[in-house]
Structure 1
Amino acid sequence: MPHRNPNPAPYQPTHNEPPRLVVITNLRAITPSSDRVILTEKFVDGMSQYASHWNGPIRVIAQPSRSTDSNLDHIEYPLSSLPFEFRCFNFTNDALKPALQDAAIVLAGFDHDKTLLAPLCKQLNVPLIYITEYSTRTQLQIIAAGNAPFLKKLRASLWVKQQRKPKNRALSQATALQCNGTPTYNEYTSINPNRLLYFDTRVTANLLATHQQIDNRRDDHSPIRLLFSGRLIPMKGASHLPHIAHYLLENRTPFQLKIAGDGESLLEIKNLIKTYNLQDHVQTLGNLDFKSQLLPLAKSWADLFVCPHRQGDPACTYLETYSCGIPIVGYDNEALTGLVSLTNIGSTVPLNNTKQLADRITAFAHKRDKLYRHAHRALDFASENTFELTFKKRIEHLKYYLNPPPA
């Protein structure tokens, strides 16, 4: 009977075989035809960065979908234009195994349907790096923030808790983790010691604000200028913004608030603006192009970013806001609390407390010197965590585990 080597040697590409990186994404893809695919611009930009710095072929694997999700940047691409090989199929052991057999390393978004990768990669002797984003607490908060009936929320919450054990088993079996934000980095401390902390962003070095731009904003002693951008959906707390604005009026705090984005909460926001008679103070801008519209507006206009996110999704909003030299005041979800604790920039209040959030904004409005000290620190932190530097760090992390030192 043949025996398996209990400690097989790491994958070693031959001289003529550069290492193949296989990326398994949580993003679902739509394939309108055999030679075209709909993906998000953010995902393709990220994969282009991998293609620029990885010294071998890249294969991306996604599961199929019939419709787009709530992301705002879906684009249809010819497969021939992508800097990677693309495959799309439902994930099963039998389907995944042939797609991973020639991999030097696998980088996979982590979710319940990716737990099968850990034993499969061990069987194939391929290093597996999971990308983690949503802590258990955040998953439960996302469910609570939604509009589903109570019993459906209850079932979903129970399911999340039941998945914890198999998820932890898979995480412990993985070679290493790349943790987007502090929530999962902290939660998985005892589960897998090989963790890399990074912060998601789309801002490249050439798109950063300058300290002079921050000083120019500071010299304008107008009402405090507030910005929110992103998906206008319940988990982002977008419908709380008019309530916060209403309390600012009650505080007699001069302000202007611009809301950039689109989503299911937009109609509610517009109705609340009318109800509270906020038309002279709050403006909805619609969905702005990130590079040509949103970033220029943020860098030249905003003093403070209002972030009523009701859960700890480690959104790219945080670092991208810092990149514009703008501090954040928001709810104490895990992602923002972790970032504020790490950087001492901005401030948090208890979840869903619109009055306290308005009061905190009022405090910053009365202490502009403090606000702009935070603004300069935000830009400094973002300068150390640009899109390029973040991907360089993540790619070096992958390369380390191609041929890790012996334990």
Structure 2
Amino acid sequence: MPTLLLSVPAPVKICQDGYHLDTKFVAGMQAHVADWGSDVRCVMWDSGDSIPFGQIYRASELNFDLIVLDRNAAMPPEVLEGVSIALVSADMPGFGAICRSIAAARIPYVVGAEYTLDTRLRTVWLERHISFLRKVRRSLWLLRNERRIRTGIKSAASAQFNGYPAFDSYAELVIGPHIYLDNRMSAEMMASPAEMVTRSERLLSGRALRLIHSGRLEPMKGSQDLLQVMRELSALGVRATLDIYGTGSLEAQIRSALGEFDGAVRLHAPVDFRTELVPVSRTQADIFLSCHRQSDPSCSYLEAMGCGLAIAGYRNRMWEQLSKEAQCGVAVPLGSTRSLAKAIARWDRHRQAIVDSAQAGLSFAMTHDFEREFAGRMAHLRSLVV
């Protein structure tokens, strides 16, 4: 039976009782094992990073073969023994060296990519706590590393691209590239017809709009704009509430300003996606507010659409194309909180447009649920096994 090797940038720590791993990563690996139907091996490098949503797993609790190497260790030849095909993330530290090791062993490999050079550079320059000189140095390193990424992709058997920007940037470098839209919405998690009717009736009754946002509260996610959008909406006479779910470096700044909104804006700690965030989104919200300035393929878009929410967001490369493909939502110029508030105000005056956008988004999400997207990726890998 063919053996699949995965090399992913997920954090890991070696512990006395086993491995400290992110629970979402383990769930993803279990899905790989279930779909691949034979041996799955994963090689990781001890990152030393914090793992907020992790737990300790014994080796016997994992249904895949896990090899954890020291931070800067080279790929040992024994890791590649018996491997039929490998999937390597372009975001792995040492990506070029990993690809060369696999190629030297005459094993076909597929590159997984979701970030573009533009996204990586924007992330650096949105960092608030590093000096200008360090930003310049990091940018120069990224420019050099981009050559390594493109070389690795050119030498690959194929590639899998999460989202439109990465596909548009790199697809021409390989034969038979595969595009997918990563998200966590399984078919049974999608908004129900009854929930869509209830939301529609509420919206058309003229009650205050219920906005929701979830994710890391970081500058690269545009979280600093959330409250300003609410200020702009108030100035435009739009009655609305906003529930924010998440934590991050901007949490204290957001929390300190909540008092000015008289309870209309509420900040919640991160909650479990499946059992809490999805039910809340399906039954207690109308619009997902996205101030994301980056063009990375945030899964929040598909997940909000699957919950039956209309989306108002900035016109980054990912959301601009996704909104066109799905024929839903609104996309306004990057960083313009005024434009975002005006778009929501237009929706407020024409509530049926919110209902129609939400339904179009849900219909699109239902054709891109987790099971379909994941099965497509695994079928693509199987097609490359010699």
Secondary structure of the 1:117 match is: helix
| TM-superposed deviation, 1:269 | 0.6
State the match for 1:123 in structure 2: 104
Q: How does 1:9-20 map to 2 (within 5 A)?
A: 18-20=1-3
1:5-37 CA distance string (max 9 Å, x none): xxxxxxxxxxxxx1111111111211222x421
Matches of 1:239 and 1:94 in 2, distance apart? Answer: 40
Q: Is the 8 A contact 2:11 2:22 kept in 1?
A: no
Matches of 2:327 and 2:22 in 1, distance apart? Answer: 32
Q: How does 1:96-245 map to 2 (within 5 A)?
A: 96-111=76-91, 113-147=94-128, 148-220=130-202, 221=205, 222-245=207-230
State the match for 1:15 in structure 2: none
2:12 to 4, 25, 29: 29
Amino acid at match of 2:344: I
Q: Is the 8 A contact 1:238 1:265 kept in 2?
A: yes
Secondary structure of the 1:141 match is: helix
Q: Is the 8 A contact 1:226 1:304 kept in 2?
A: yes
State the match for 1:251 in structure 2: 236
| TM-superposed deviation, 1:194 | 2.3
| TM-superposed deviation, 1:121 | 2.4
Matches of 1:120 and 1:31 in 2, distance apart? Answer: 24
Secondary structure of the 1:119 match is: helix
1:264 aligns with 2:249: yes
**Structure 1: 5+ residue runs without aligned partners?**
1-17
State the match for 1:14 in structure 2: none
Q: How does 1:309-324 map to 2 (within 5 A)?
A: 309-324=292-307
Amino acid at match of 1:81: E
Matches of 1:60 and 1:251 in 2, distance apart? Answer: 53
Q: Is the 8 A contact 2:21 2:54 kept in 1?
A: yes
Secondary structure of the 1:200 match is: coil
Q: Is the 8 A contact 1:138 1:311 kept in 2?
A: yes
Matches of 2:350 and 2:110 in 1, distance apart? Answer: 44
Q: Say if 1:173 and 1:290 are closer, same or farther in 2 by CA, change over 3 A.
A: same
Q: Say if 1:177 and 1:91 are closer, same or farther in 2 by CA, change over 3 A.
A: farther
State the match for 2:385 in structure 1: 402
Amino acid at match of 1:260: Y
Q: How does 1:331-342 map to 2 (within 5 A)?
A: 331-342=314-325
Alignment RMSD (CA, Å):
1.6
**Mean Cα displacement is larger for which, 238-247 or 311-320?**
311-320
Q: Is the 8 A contact 2:2 2:83 kept in 1?
A: yes
State the match for 2:68 in structure 1: 88
| TM-superposed deviation, 1:232 | 1.1
Q: What is the TM-score of this pair, normalised by structure 1?
A: 0.90
Q: Is the 8 A contact 1:331 1:349 kept in 2?
A: yes
Secondary structure of the 1:187 match is: helix
State the match for 1:3 in structure 2: none
Q: Say if 1:60 and 1:116 are closer, same or farther in 2 by CA, change over 3 A.
A: same
Q: Is the 8 A contact 2:210 2:240 kept in 1?
A: yes
State the match for 2:354 in structure 1: 371
Deviating above 3 A after TM superposition, structure 1's stretches of 4 or more consecutive aligned residues are 90-94
State the match for 1:353 in structure 2: 336
Secondary structure of the 1:257 match is: strand
Matches of 2:254 and 2:324 in 1, distance apart? Answer: 31
Matches of 1:57 and 1:91 in 2, distance apart? Answer: 25
State the match for 1:11 in structure 2: none
| TM-superposed deviation, 1:138 | 0.6
1:79 to 44, 55, 59: 59
1:103-153 CA distance string (max 9 Å, x none): 111011113521223332222221101110110111111112111222211
State the match for 1:48 in structure 2: 30
Q: Percent identity?
A: 27
1:347-404 CA distance string (max 9 Å, x none): 211221111111111112222211111111111111111111111111101100003x
1:167-188 CA distance string (max 9 Å, x none): 1111111111111111110001
Q: What is the TM-score of this pair, normalised by structure 2?
A: 0.94
- Report the count of equivalent residues: 381
Q: Is the 8 A contact 1:145 1:310 kept in 2?
A: no
